[in-house]
Structure 1
């Protein structure tokens, strides 16, 4: 089911998230698949839909930094790391940050860190604010296939068994840049 953006439609997406369902939504460059990061069953459903191995780990996208603090080890960040991160947020830069001991492996995969982003893109921010926490965010495509850039492309690759927020992506050509928070090292060019 595709829904257009309105407060009622965002409410439908939030209900789906609270019911441990996978949703699709536009991000800065491509459509993302998302779910409740605290639900192992929702994350497993997302990974199965995408055919993505759990070992790779996932990204969390948030409306503000406070939404991420229960998942990351904020104390691991020195002043230089914080400066780098906050200079780029909100915005299209994803940072890999060490995690708290309680962060589940279904999010981190085989890593001791988690990729996180505070988005400036309004549809993502609306969803995260309405949901009250970050969303899992991974490109809406089958592993190895090109990422979907429209709601129709999402349906073409992944079917119609979940809600899709039918809005345009922000228009960036490439997915977000990914950097290591501790070193500043570029992991993926944006």
Structure 2
């Protein structure tokens, strides 16, 4: 049974939620709510310096966070050719994007997902959400709502019931400026 309204309400209240992505479940929150991001980092036991991925329903949702003026037409076309899809791109950020999202970097990792539940979630929420694998740092990421419940259920406000996209590996992460691969997909 899908619990969509509960999950969207939790996001709007600054809570951390679990949700299925292309390969694994993710945990996410409102990227503009510093307390929510700090709660997510605490749950994950993840250092703020690492930065976070933003996942969106469409490119327009990412525009408040990325500085596309630092990318060439060709670089942007390369990115757009992979979206929506399982490729996360590291892109230059706008000056006002807070360090609690970017960590030690002047870039941010972003993805336009092709997962129907992620798309619906971001559209209903009205903006991107953070996306990091649903696991404690160093543990295996959850691939079902039940696995996420077992590992993180006591910390999350809600877990969106649904299936992952069936991919084996988490998204590939590439640099939009030079094409370098940070994580193989």
How high is the TM-score relative to the length of structure 2? 0.97
> Is the aligned partner of 1:59 residue 2:56?
no
- Post-superposition Cα deviations, 1:19-62, rounded to whole Å, max 9, x if no partner, equal 00000000000000000000000000001001100000000000
Q: Note the C-alpha offset of 1:166.
A: 1.4
> Is the aligned partner of 1:153 residue 2:147?
yes
Give the gaps of 5 or more residues in structure 2.
none
**Contact 1:11–1:130, Cα closer than 8 Å, also in 2:** no
Q: Note the C-alpha offset of 1:80.
A: 1.2
Alignment match of 2:103 (pick from 81, 92, 109): 109
Match of 2:114 in 1: 120
**Distance (whole Å) between structure 2 residues aligned to residue 150 and residue 114 of structure 1:** 27
Match of 2:77 in 1: 83
**Distance (whole Å) between structure 2 residues aligned to residue 18 and residue 34 of structure 1:** 12
How high is the TM-score relative to the length of structure 1? 0.95
CA RMSD of aligned residues (A): 0.8
Matched position secondary structure for 2:60: helix
Match of 2:166 in 1: 171
Q: Which runs of 4+ in 1 moved over 6 A?
A: none
**Distance (whole Å) between structure 2 residues aligned to residue 148 and residue 33 of structure 1:** 10
Give the gaps of 5 or more residues in structure 1.
none
